[in-house]
Chains A and B, each alone.
Chain A
Amino acid sequence: MLLRSCAFVFGLFLTTTSAAQLEIQVTRGIDNPTSIAVAPFAWDGLGSAPTDFAQIVDSDLARSGQFSPVSRRDMLSLPAAREEIFYRDWRAISTRYLVIGRVSQGTQLRVDFSLHDVERGVELFSGQVVSAESEARMAAHRVADSIYEKLTGIPGAFATRLIYVSVTRNPDGKDFYRLTVADADGRRPIVLLEGRDPILAPSWSPDGKEVAYVSFESSRPAIYRQVLATGKREQLTNFQGLNNSPVWSPDGKSMALVLSKDGSPDIYLLDLETKQFQRLTRHYGIDTEPTWMPDGESLLFTSDRGGRPQIYRYELATGKIERVTFEGRYNARARVAEDGRNVALVHQRKGRFHIAVFDLVTERLTVLTETSLDESPSIAPNGSLVIYATKRGERSVLGAVAVDGGVKFSLPARSGSVQEPAWSPMLVEQ
């Protein structure tokens, strides 16, 4: 495969937070990325603009690996209105598309932007994004989402967030865990929970307003849910044995999770309103890592009931269980894309653990990564990318790869390990 190598390092403006901020490095893009220029957005307001909107749009498009942004230094003119565009300026530097914009300050920020086809010399699309001034970065990501969708036909997922667990080792040799939520570009990290006890299996509520996770803070694993905006927290389970893998149902009313209180680990359903548990699987083997199909009618899960871990499907209406994966000795921790077709999972090949995509329709399994200790895949809500954790030396880092294998980037933290990423659903504008 012909590869275009490039390395962008974002996040140059340090925030003074203790959270591990991720830097994004695109390690592989597609062969012929589309050239696009995002001219600096004009600012109608007091003082200077709260953020460099065009720079954020530019970075988002670059991170997709599908676009090659034009450097501001190479731009011959800096239009912010239609009448200021001279297409010849952009043809001269071989730009395919041009984005211009203007940000107005009122009670809220209003971003007006438009996309232009340089070759044909026409405007393709114009749009508007309104947001609170504190959410200026998200407003810019929403502009990038619109442009990405117009040009690729796939909704953008830049205005989304990630949760992940970062681990640093204290000088006394003890690990220190932090559950962090950040924008999808790694910026604005906020620590949700920290301590010496392990935190794992974070997942999102379907409305993107809450997270669930496992914490060992009570000296045993217990499942909690936490509201992002208020920090309000509730312990959902603390049974003898395992309390693991909480995943919200698509309608948000219940949660699938793993308990071993009745012997071996099995999948249970917790009704979040009545707090009633329903046991779904009953097997002396390990049943774990449940994940919902987008229609909410069935779950995929990992089980070693056949001797080795493989993916199975549980149908809620009938309780019927069928095996899904057969290729290889180890397929685990599935996550299903919104299309209900692509399943990202951990696949073992020649003793190495890779991220793979399994197509539920064609039953074809495609290995996406070459590294050997990959885990915790999570699919972007637009289905385009899989984010996962991998080892780099003794540290765990995040990587992302396109579902078609074409684009790759890594998100190393400045220090410590980052693991267990979970990509948010599409977020409703606030």
Chain B
Amino acid sequence: MTTKNTLGKAAVVVLLATLVSACSSNAAKEEAAAQAATERAAAEQAAAAEAVAAEQRAIEKEKAMVMQEQRETKRRLMDAASSAGTVFLFDYDSSTLSDDARAAIDAHVALLMSGSANARLEGHTDERGTREYNLALGERRANAVRDYMVASGVPAYRLETISYGEENPVAYGSGESSWSQNRRVEIK
């Protein structure tokens, strides 16, 4: 935008100079001098325009580097979040975050803070106990993750929690190996 304006101004100056030379056509010397002056002015304008354009190119390059850097940071945060996993596990009848879960959630907090995306936190339980009580337990787990994220700086309005209780197991079958995988919060 700036470059275009500068060039436009230079064009106006050249046009004015041409008009002046046309009006004083009776004196050849004056005409020559005026023409030389006009040419000088045009050259000066061109040089100035070139300098502005060069500066602009430098700014663009700088911007591109910053964006590249941001992209790389974002990619790094996304990689960190994805290697931390999207599933946080819990102990039986507990909604306390383990150290592992906290570390994994930290990676997602960093990613959320770098952008403006929203997240959905889905709480789940194993099959033991009653379905309706488990629905409440799943919500308590999702809320525990939400509260930790909010305390870490993620605005609460960007986090939605929902509990499925024992309705959506990832591992079928009865036994601790299945149950431990089902007691979880998933970030989506």
A contact set with B: CB distance below 8 Å: 175, 198, 200-201, 216, 219-221, 241-242, 244-245, 258, 260, 264-265, 286, 288-289, 302, 309, 330, 332-333, 346, 348, 353, 373, 375-376, 391, 394, 419-420
Contact = CB atoms under 8 A, between A and B. Distances in A.
A221 B161 contact: no
Interface centre among B130, B165, B167, B173 (most CB of A within 10 A): B130
B132 A244 contact: yes
Nearest to A377: B130
A175 B128 contact: no
A394 B126 CA distance: 13
Given A175-B168, A198-B164, A242 B135 contact: yes
Contact of B133 (A260, A288, A394): A288
B58 to A, nearest CB: 50
Q: Is the interface of B mostly helix, strand, loop or mixed?
A: mixed
Nearest to A302: B133
Given A220-B162, A241-B161, A242-B163, A286 B133 contact: yes
B130 A332 contact: yes
B164 A289 contact: no
Contacts of A258: 132, 136
B136 A260 contact: yes
A187 to B, nearest CB: 26
A265 B130 contact: no
A102 B46 CA distance: 114
B14 to A, nearest CB: 65
A198 B130 contact: no
B129 interface: yes
B2 interface: no
Interface in B107-134: 127-133
Q: Is the interface of A mostly helix, strand, loop or mixed?
A: strand
Interface centre among B135, B137, B164, B167 (most CB of A within 10 A): B135
B174 interface: yes
Contacts of A373: 127-128, 174
B90 to A, nearest CB: 15
Given A175-B168, A333-B132, 18 more contacts: A198-B164, A198-B168, A200-B135, A220-B162, A241-B139, A242-B136, A244-B136, A258-B136, A260-B136, A260-B139, A265-B136, A265-B139, A288-B132, A302-B133, A332-B130, A333-B130, A373-B127, A376-B130
Contacts of A221: 135, 162-163
B68 to A, nearest CB: 37
Contact of B167 (A200, A286, A332, A346): A200
Contact of A198 (B129, B137, B140, B167): B167
Nearest to B167: A198
B168 A333 contact: no
Given A220-B162, A242-B163, A286 B131 contact: no
A244 B129 contact: no
Nearest to A389: B131
A136 to B, nearest CB: 36
A420 B130 contact: no
A357 to B, nearest CB: 16
Nearest to A331: B130
A149 B118 CA distance: 61
Nearest to A329: B93
B133 A289 contact: yes
Contacts of B165: 200
Contacts of A302: 130, 132-133
19 contacts: A175-B167, A200-B131, A219-B162, A220-B162, A242-B139, A244-B132, A258-B132, A260-B139, A265-B136, A288-B135, A289-B130, A289-B133, A309-B133, A330-B129, A333-B130, A333-B133, A346-B129, A346-B130, A420-B131
B174 A245 contact: no
Nearest to B163: A242
Given A216-B164, A286-B140, A394-B172, A245 B128 contact: no
A95 B164 CA distance: 54
Interface string B147-164: 000000000000001111
A216 B174 CA distance: 25
Contacts of A201: 131-132
A200 B164 CA distance: 10
A24 B140 CA distance: 38
Contact of A353 (B128, B132, B168): B128
A245 B132 contact: yes
Contacts of A289: 130, 132-133
Contacts of A216: 164, 167
For the complex of A and B, the 3 pairs showing the least CB-CB separation, nearest first, are: A198-B167, A333-B130, A286-B136
A346 B127 CA distance: 13
A375 B137 contact: no
A394 B136 contact: no
A286 B140 CA distance: 9
A375 B129 CA distance: 7
Contacts of B173: 394
Interface centre among A201, A258, A289, A376 (most CB of B within 10 A): A289
B107 to A, nearest CB: 26
Contact of A286 (B137, B161, B164, B174): B137
Given A198-B164, A216-B164, A242-B163, A375 B131 contact: yes
A289 B165 CA distance: 14
Nearest to B169: A175
A309 to B, nearest CB: 6
